[in-house]
Amino acid sequence: MLAFVMFMSVFVLGGCSNLTVLDPKGPVAEQQANLILFSIGLMLFIVVVVFVLFTLILVKYRERKSGPDYEPPDIEGSTFLEIIWTVIPIIILIALAIPTVKTIYALEEPPEATAHKEPVVIHATSVDWKWVFSYPEEDIETVNYIHIPEDRPILFKLASADSMGSFWIPSLGGQEYTMAGMMTELYLQADEPGEYRGRNSNFTGEGFADQVFTVTAETEEDYAEWVEEAQEAPELTQEKYNELMLKGHADEMTFSSTHLEWVNHAMDAEYATKVRNGLPLDEDNSHGSHEDHEDSEDEDHDSHKGHGDHDDHSKSEDKDTHSESH
């Protein structure tokens, strides 16, 4: 049994190099891969220890031909053993928790090696079933693909135009959810040029399987050239963007402006719903203006009423003064 467990461990770990998540291409993915391998190694060690003890118990306390009148000794229990099998799981949990918590907090910040560099900010918006990427500083918007410079932190600001999705580039790091009406952030980085695949890893309907995008990591010079070329693309109009809000897939597209000029899905969770249902996009603003107008009218009415009360009070005072004079 022990030999079989050790053989299977070598066999499983020997095939890990074919898994994308265990073949990291950036510091974030590398930290996560190291945490996964540490957890697997610790659990395999525990499995081996358990199987060894299990085998010893079977051999040492197996049934023997001691006669029909043999009765095993009465053992009430062992406080020492009970303490051991209570403390060991606590130690295991601590051993797993410490590196996990440290890694989670480390990934909330840019990678330490490149923390001194200004990150590239990309707003990633999931839509059923496509990805829209906005570069606010470069004034570029792309659909279903992005370009990033190597050896530089990338700050993804994630939101959703409709259902909750999951932004995932396995070669560069773990997934992060995208949700309408709120924003989540994720730091990633590519250590070498290459082309990587990203996708939505959260089920959002029949078309989610093809909700994928391409990530091209390149040198700073090549990235700067791509930015200049992309800035010559046609501008993104609101009408064109509204077409992207409709459910369905889309080809790769490039625009020289972003939708952040008129909508931020982290602040407006109903924009795509209004577009799909043909509702006016300024309904909330109009409603708010109408309420403000009503509030203003109420204030004027109260002010006029107060002015009338003041006049009545003045008339009463004049009448009292006239009576006293008389």
Dump pLDDT digits (tens) for 188-228.
999 999 999 999 999 999 899 999 999 999 999 999 999 99
- pLDDT-derived band at 7, boundaries 50, 70, 90: low
β-pairing, 145-149 vs 154-160, is unpaired
- The per-residue pLDDT for 300 is 42
Structure-token match 């918006």, residue found: 125
Peptide linkage before 85 cis (omega within 30 of 0)? no
Is residue 188 within 8 A of residue 256, CB to CB? The reply is: no
Determine which of 72-81, 107-116, 170-179, 278-287 has the lowest per-residue pLDDT on average: 278-287
The per-residue b/e assignment along 198-211, b for 16 or more CB within 10 angstroms, e otherwise, is: bbbbbebeeebeeb
Is residue 172 within 8 A of residue 143, CB to CB? The reply is: no
For residue 298, pLDDT over 80 is answered with no
DSSP secondary structure letter of residue 62: -
- The per-residue pLDDT for 8 is 59
pTM attached to this predicted model: 0.76
* CA 21 to each of CA 24, 175, 226, 256: distance values in angstroms, whole numbers, following the listed order: 6, 11, 28, 34
Contacts of 188 (CB under 8 A, 6+ apart): 26, 28, 153, 154, 156, 169, 172, 173
- pLDDT-derived band at 66, boundaries 50, 70, 90: low
- The per-residue pLDDT for 22 is 87
Judged by DSSP in three states, 298 sits in helix
* CA 196 to each of CA 16, 21, 149, 171, 263: distance values in angstroms, whole numbers, following the listed order: 19, 12, 13, 7, 29
- The per-residue pLDDT for 318 is 44
User: What tokens were used for 124?
Assistant: 């990633």
- The per-residue pLDDT for 21 is 87
